[in-house]
Amino acid sequence: MESTRPTIDELLEATQEFLEKKIIDVVDAHRAFHTRVAINVLALVRRELQLSPQLAPGEHERLRTLLGTDGTIVELNDDLCRRLRDKSMDYGSDELFRHLFETTMGQLSIDNPEYSGYKRALEESARN
């Protein structure tokens, strides 16, 4: 039902905007703090909804290639963790590092795209 208006993103954006423009400046400091937390949660949820569909296929393919098997992302991540725990997978491999780096960068783009380490890694990646 993609044609339903307002969209989920529009609803989240409107709520976020309402809190930022109408509420945060008229409440006491304690409530302003909790309002800022709510604004940040709404922003994170919006990024999750926007970016996860783009990031999931890459993570799934990297896991399939790395493990040589198929399954859901959850199943493959569980398998990867099991293999690392029982040492049946070399945790020093370039392929594992690349997968973990790409997955971490994707998650940071959702969780905190303003994180300085994330920005620095993007800049370094662009240079290479």
DSSP letter assigned to residue 27: S
Amino acid identity, position 46: R
> Is pLDDT larger for residue 105 or for residue 115?
105
What angle, rounded to 10 degrees, do the helices at 116-127 and 94-111 form? Answer: 130
Q: Which residues contact 33 (CB under 8 A, 6 or more apart)?
A: none
> Mean pLDDT in the chain?
94
Provide the pLDDT confidence category of residue 119 given band limits of 50, 70 and 90.
confident
Rounded to whole angstroms, the Cα distance separating 26 from 116 reads: 31
Task: Name the band, by pLDDT with cuts 50, 70 and 90, for residue 127.
Answer: confident
Helix-helix angle 8-18:29-67, to 10 degrees: 150
**What is the C-alpha separation between 108 and 84, in angstroms, rounded?**
23
Whether the pLDDT of residue 1 is over 80: the answer is no
Query: Could you read off the pLDDT of 63-110 as tens digits, one per residue?
Result: 999 999 999 999 999 999 999 999 999 999 999 999 999 999 999 999
The full set of domain ranges for the chain reads: 8-127
Q: What is the pLDDT of residue 2?
A: 61
Percent of the chain with pLDDT over 90: 84
Question: Which of the four pLDDT bands, split at 50, 70 and 90, describes residue 116?
Answer: confident
DSSP 26: G
Query: Angle CA(81)–CA(87)–CA(92) in degrees, nearest 5?
Result: 85
The pLDDT of residue 22 is 97
